Amino acid sequence: MTFIDAQIDRIVGPTHHFGGLGVGNLASQMHAGQTSNPRAAALQGLDKMRLVAGLGVPQLILPPQPRPYFALLKALGFTGSPAEILQSVLTKNPAILSAAASCSAMWTANAATVTPSCDRNVGSAVMTVANLSASLHRSIEAAQTQNELAALFGNALEVRQTLPGGAPMRDEGAANHMRFSGIDGQPGLNVFVYGDGSPEPQCHWPRQTKATGQAIARSHGLQEDNVFHLKQHPEAIDAGAFHNDVVAMSHHDLLIHHELAFAQGSCQEIERLRRRFEDVVQSPLRVLRISSKELSLNDAIKTYFFNSQIVTASHAGMTTWTILCPVQVKRNPVTYELVERLRAEQFFHTVHFVDLGQSMDGGGGPACLRLRVPLSEQELEHIPNSAFWTENRDSNLRHIISDRYPRELKLIDLANPEICQRSLETQELIAKCLGQKPANA
Ligand code: SUG
């Protein structure tokens, strides 16, 4: 059976702003309070989708989640008309206004963890929606994401609710999960990356726990031999690698990681992964460990080299690997040389540099902006046509964005009821354009 990695991206919403809300996320903190450009953010995201779809990869699109999320503000005790609520939350606790207006759901790599049917002994493919319980602004994404993913995939796979349990079971989805696989239809090997436990990072709270990875592996029915748990290096978390995909990337039989991605003592687990891969796939797992000498942790995090998005493109029966790197990788001589070397060594056939400046300033690169869902051709057929990227949809979306999105936004603007009303209406228009029922704010 042939499996294809569908990519799901979300249109960045009209209230995209720099709230400085990302836990342990240096880019987010560094840009806190700066003026954002929601229009550029949405168009940059669409440009990436166009590029991926143009490679022949199934590209699915989600609409922005409705923001500001008044349900949160009301649940936290703010009352009155929308204008009164907005004014009151701005005065009493602006961080809550920022959370309620955050467009962080655009980083869909954090939406869920996916297991294709071939990895399970019984049953269909399954995904568990991430609870994102490490931060207020992200935790409010889950309920809506659950409905959206169920609407997209309900006929193809099982969409499970978030893990219960709050902080001990904090889960950031596919950003901390890597799946290695060989020939289509064979079971893949699943690596869950976590940050808690000794030795702990000194500056930042780890966003994912080992218990979370274990719970997902169990509940997805993964065979124990095919499950691996790797601890993030505390130094990496402290340097700003709040998710594993900031310091490691994976695609089929390839793992590229920084030498400080995983804690000391992880070598044995990586060795077990290599051996198991060889047993199951009958060919070697390619592991590329980039030393600090080759690329410092700081440069890795500044450029988001490891957050490049790898896709398999098919043309006339030929498959090629394409890597989409943030343009910051090209601007840094060390990472530029590294990616050029990898291309020369045929790890990738094509390299594209993409400008995602607005997302990067919130701490999200190309790979953060997509959720990979390996689907059989049959499963793919069950996905509503209206969710796929097409030229026509792209042009309609660009029209709405160029017409209605602000070019400049600061937190204080989010207390303006007219801006908020317009934002909610725009979200509805985009949802309709993508054949989705508008959700409630
Ligand atoms: O969770 N930034 C996101 C970035 C997520 C990146 N995703 C992956 N690495 N897969 C986060 O920290 C910033 C919001 C703000 O500052 O307003 C934010 O939430």
- Chain segment 381-394, per-residue pLDDT in tens: 999 999 999 999 99
Q: Whose CA is nearest to atom 10 of ligand 1?
A: 368
Instruction: Evaluate whether 193 touches 176 at the Cβ level (below 8 Å).
Output: yes
Let me know if residue 10 belongs to a domain: yes
Residue 243 falls in the annotated catalytic set: yes
Q: What is the pLDDT of residue 370?
A: 98
Catalytic residue, chosen from 204, 233, 243, 251, is: 243
Residue 425 lies in a domain: yes
Reply yes or no on whether the pLDDT at 419 is more than 70.
yes
Pick the residue whose CA is nearest to atom 18 on ligand 1: 22
Tokens for 349, please give them: 């056939």
The answer to whether 273 and 191 have CB atoms below 8 angstroms apart is yes
- Work out the average pLDDT over 210-237: 97
Residue 440 belongs to some domain of the structure? no
Count of alpha carbons within 13 angstroms of residue 274, beta-carbon side: 11
Q: Who's near 208: CB < 8 A, 6+ residues apart?
A: 170, 171, 172, 176, 193, 194, 195, 196, 243
Count of CB atoms situated within 10 Å of the CB of 221: 13
**For residue 441, pLDDT beyond 90:** no
pLDDT at 271: 97
**368 catalytically annotated:** yes
Q: How far is the CA of 185 from the centre of ligand 1 (A)?
A: 33
The full DSSP string for 83-152 is HHHHHHHHHH-HHHHHHHH--GGG-GGGSEEEE-GGGBSSS--EEEE---TTSHHHHTTHHHHHHHHHHH
Examine residue 99 and state whether it is found in any structural domain, yes or no: yes
Is 347 inside a domain boundary?
Answer: yes
Asked if residues 65 and 14 have their Cβ atoms less than 8 Å apart, the reply is: no
pLDDT of residue 317: 77
Query: Within a domain: residue 339?
Result: yes
Determine if ligand 1 sits within 6 Å of the CB of residue 20.
yes
Q: How many whole angstroms separate alpha carbon 264 and alpha carbon 413?
A: 46
CA distance 351 to 343: 7
Q: Whose CA is nearest to atom 7 of ligand 1?
A: 368
Average pLDDT over residues 231-257: 98
Residue given tokens 């199951």 in the structure block: 280
| Cα(107) to centroid(ligand 1), Å | 7
What range does the domain containing 282 cover?
3-433
Q: How far is the CA of 118 from the CAs of 186, 216, 218, 223, 422, in angstroms?
A: 6, 16, 16, 11, 45
Confirm if 73 and 88 have CB atoms less than 8 A apart.
no
CA of 99 to the centre of ligand 1 (A): 12
Q: Is the CB of 364 under 6 A from ligand 1?
A: yes
pLDDT at 254: 97
If you average pLDDT over residues 216-233, what whole number do you get?
97
Distance CA 49, CA 398 (A): 12
H/E stretch holding 7: strand 3-10
Q: For residue 404, what pLDDT is reported?
A: 98
Predicted confidence band at 316 (pLDDT cuts at 50, 70, 90)?
confident
Name the band, by pLDDT with cuts 50, 70 and 90, for residue 412.
Answer: very high
Q: What is the DSSP letter of 37?
A: -
110 lines ligand 1 (CB under 6 A): yes
- Residue 239, sorted as left (phi over 0), alpha (psi -120 to 50) or beta, turns out to be alpha
Full DSSP string of 361-427:
TTT--TTTT-EEEEEEHHHHHTS-GGGB--HHHHHHHHHHHHHHS-S-B-GGGGG-HHHHHHHHHHH
Residue 206 has pLDDT above 80, yes or no: yes
The Cα-based distances of 351 to 7, 47, 289, 319, 348 in angstroms read 18, 15, 20, 15, 7
CATH code for the domain of 255 = 3.75.10.20
Query: Is 368 close to ligand 1, i.e. is its CB under 6 Å away?
Result: yes
pLDDT, mean of residues 232-254: 98
Determine if ligand 1 sits within 6 Å of the CB of residue 24.
no
Note the pLDDT tens digit of each residue in 132-160: 999 999 999 999 999 999 999 988 899 99
Ligand 1, pocket-test mutation among 16, 21, 356, most atoms within 8 A of CB: 21
Determine whether 379 is an active site residue.
no
- Report CA-CA distances (Å) from 236 to 312, 338, 431: 29, 20, 38
Count of domains forming the chain: 1
Average pLDDT over residues 190-206: 97
Name the band, by pLDDT with cuts 50, 70 and 90, for residue 427. Answer: very high
Residue 18 beta carbon below 6 angstroms from any ligand 1 atom: yes
Predicted pLDDT of residue 439? 74
Mutation test residue for ligand 1: of 171, 243, 306, the one with most atoms within 8 Å of CB: 243
Is residue 183 predicted with pLDDT exceeding 70? no
Which pLDDT band holds residue 315 (cuts at 50, 70, 90)?
Answer: confident
> Which residue's alpha carbon is at the smallest distance from atom 5 of ligand 1?
364
pLDDT of residue 81: 98
Ligand 1 contacts CB of residue 243 (under 6 A): yes
Type of residue at 368: C
Burial of 315 (0-12, 13-18, 19+ CB in 10 A): exposed
Asked whether residue 196 is domain-assigned, the answer is yes
Residue 235 has pLDDT above 70, yes or no: yes
Whether residue 36 has its Cβ less than 6 Å from ligand 1: no
* Residue (of 225, 192, 226, 224) closest to 211 by Cα position: 192
So what's the pLDDT on residue 31?
98
- Based on its alpha-carbon atoms, the radius of gyration of the chain, rounded to whole angstroms, reads 21
Least confident of 16-20, 113-117, 180-184: 180-184
Pocket test for ligand 1, best of 15, 25, 307, 372 (most atoms within 8 A of CB): 25
**DSSP per residue, 188-244:** PEEEEEE--SSSPPSSS--S--HHHHHHHHHHTTB-GGGEEEEEBPHHHHHHT--SG
Q: How much is the mean pLDDT over the chain?
A: 96
The CA distance from 154 to 147, in Å, is 9
8 Å CB contact between 11 and 45: yes
Whether 407 is covered by a domain: the verdict is yes
d(CA 420, CA 425): 9
The residue from 172, 257, 325, 420 that is catalytic is 172
Nearest 5°: the CA angle 369, 374, 377 is 125
Query: Residue 34 pLDDT more than 80?
Result: yes
Q: Is the pLDDT of residue 328 over 80?
A: yes
Separation of CA 112 from chain center: 9
Angle at which helix 94-101 crosses helix 82-92, to 10 degrees, equals: 130
Percent of the chain surpassing pLDDT 90: 93
Span 242-264, average pLDDT: 97
Task: Please state the atom number of ligand 1 nearest to the C-alpha of residue 24.
Answer: 12
What spacing in Å lies between the alpha carbon of 363 and ligand 1's midpoint? 5
Q: What is the pTM of this model?
A: 0.98
Ligand 1 pocket check: which of 17, 37, 107, 139 to mutate, most ligand atoms within 8 Å of Cβ? 107
The answer on pLDDT for 76 being more than 80 is yes
% of the chain residues with pLDDT over 70: 100
